[in-house]
């Protein structure tokens, strides 16, 4: 039986963009979502695709979607709250798995807990297969390739240009970002994964000749770049969305880290945030997305801190990048073109040159 692609969360903001990107590639995914009416309407609009009802609160509804060798793409977040059922269904049914998360704690669970269970089954788990964090993996791998054997540290920064900011985020993005505020983060330091608070570090990146500050976050690059080059002692991933609010954000994160150590406080704050910051509340329309560009910068350094190579990629807004890479990755996975098993990064799974070509196809190019 040929591998099929199942898109779970198809009627959400990112899910619908991904469904349209898949159809544009000539794919015929099975669309799955909670609302029968909405998913059937979308499936009909996109050419009569198969529509199914599935819900994270009914794991059996996810199991019935999948067979061994299928590909499950999920955009249902926030992933720390809703991500586990789809991930577990993919493992149970021996299906390849891709998601759109940008949430560090969920990413760490995929690599450290789910990956070892998936590897002997021969299935690939590709978490954060979108704007978070495929471009940084690509830029980081390119910088390492150019830097050569002396590279010991890589720093990656993510930036938006144009009409960005919170007003340009979807409800799901805001909900995910809010949830991460109360969670610990991580980084690759001293040749090992270290736990640290979110926004622990701030550093400046040169973006088109201008110094822009960014705060540290947990990304897939902490796991994937050392897998590509075991000589790396340090990997840093940074988010530069906040401009003059970068330092205040760091202070807020430090305060949260202290407050949430008090028993019961973290749970109360998380519950309050869940009530007031909802996912699946829509996002920027096409005109608004067209006003925003993504910039990703990666620099490789030697042991003494000398910069050896810098790569800057510029491309469309993050939502279109996410939809494009999820569609491309699902296409490759369904064709049996994933290399390796377990939790994988995009370069490890698909190869540097194919990933570079896919990025260029979608307008994400070196600048």
Q: How far apart are CA 12 and CA 143, in angstroms?
A: 35
pLDDT in tens, 77-129: 999 999 999 999 999 999 999 999 999 999 999 999 999 999 999 999 999 99
Are residues 299 and 335 both part of a single domain? no
Are residues 288 and 344 both part of a single domain? no
Q: What is the pTM of this model?
A: 0.90
Are residues 107 and 151 both part of a single domain? no
* pLDDT (mean) for 198-227: 92
Are residues 179 and 296 both part of a single domain? yes
Does the pLDDT at position 345 exceed 80? Answer: yes
pLDDT in tens, 15-73: 999 999 999 999 999 999 999 999 999 999 999 999 999 999 999 999 999 999 999 99
Average pLDDT, the chain: 89
pLDDT in the model for residue 197: 75
- Identify the domain boundary among 302, 317, 332: 317
Are residues 358 and 301 both part of a single domain? no
Q: Which domain holds residue 86?
A: 5-130+320-366
pLDDT in tens, 237-276: 999 877 777 776 666 666 555 544 546 545 554 554 445 4
pLDDT in the model for residue 182: 56
Q: Is the dihedral of CA 218, 220, 221, 223 positive or negative?
A: positive
Q: How far apart are CA 292 and CA 299, in angstroms?
A: 23
Q: 326 near 129, Cβ under 8 Å?
A: yes
Q: Which tokens sit at 305?
A: 């801190």
Are residues 211 and 155 both part of a single domain? yes
Are residues 306 and 169 both part of a single domain? yes
Q: What is the CATH number of the domain that holds 17?
A: 3.40.50.720
Q: Which tokens sit at 109?
A: 């669970």
Q: What is the CATH number of the domain that holds 305?
A: 3.30.360.10
Q: Which tokens sit at 8?
A: 């779970």
pLDDT in the model for residue 39: 99
């Amino acid at each position: 039986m040929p591998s099929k692609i199942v898109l779970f969360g198809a009627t959400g903001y990112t899910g619908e963009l991904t469904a349209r990107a898949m159809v544009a590639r000539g794919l015929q995914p099975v669309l799955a979502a909670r609302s029968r009416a909405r998913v059937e309407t979308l499936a009909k609009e996109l050419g009569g695709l198969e529509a199914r009802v599935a819900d994270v609160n009914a794991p059996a509804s996810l199991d019935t979607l999948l067979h061994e060798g299928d590909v499950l793409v999920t955009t249902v977040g926030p992933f720390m709250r809703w991500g586990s059922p789809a991930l577990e269904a993919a493992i149970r049914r021996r299906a390849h798995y891709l998601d759109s998360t940008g949430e560090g704690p969920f990413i760490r669970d995929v690599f450290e807990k789910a990956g070892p269970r998936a590897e002997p089954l021969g299935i690939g788990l590709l978490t954060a297969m979108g704007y978070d964090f495929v471009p940084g993996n690509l830029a980081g791998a390119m910088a390492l390739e150019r830097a050569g054997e002396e590279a010991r540290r890589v720093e990656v920064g993510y930036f938006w240009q144009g009409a960005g900011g919170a007003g340009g985020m979807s409800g799901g993005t805001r909900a995910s970002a809010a949830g991460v505020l109360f969670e610990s983060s991580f980084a690759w330091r001293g040749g090992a994964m270290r736990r640290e608070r979110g926004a622990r570090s701030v550093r400046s990146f040169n973006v088109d000749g201008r110094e822009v500050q960014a705060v540290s976050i947990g990304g897939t690059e902490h796991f994937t770049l050392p897998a590509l080059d075991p000589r790396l002692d340090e990997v840093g991933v940074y988010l530069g969305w906040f401009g003059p609010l970068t330092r205040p954000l760091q202070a807020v994160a430090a305060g949260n880290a202290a407050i949430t150590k008090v028993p019961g406080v973290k749970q109360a704050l998380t519950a309050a945030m869940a009530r007031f910051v909802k996912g699946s509340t829509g996002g920027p329309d096409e005109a608004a997305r067209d006003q925003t560009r993504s910039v990703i910068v990666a620099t490789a350094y030697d042991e003494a801190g000398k910069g050896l190579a810098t790569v800057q990629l510029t491309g469309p807004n993050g939502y279109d990048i996410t939809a494009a890479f999820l569609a491309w990755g699902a296409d490759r996975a369904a064709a049996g073109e994933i290399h390796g098993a377990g939790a994988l990064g995009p370069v490890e799974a698909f190869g540097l040159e194919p990933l570079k070509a896919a990025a260029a196809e979608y307008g994400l190019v070196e600048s």
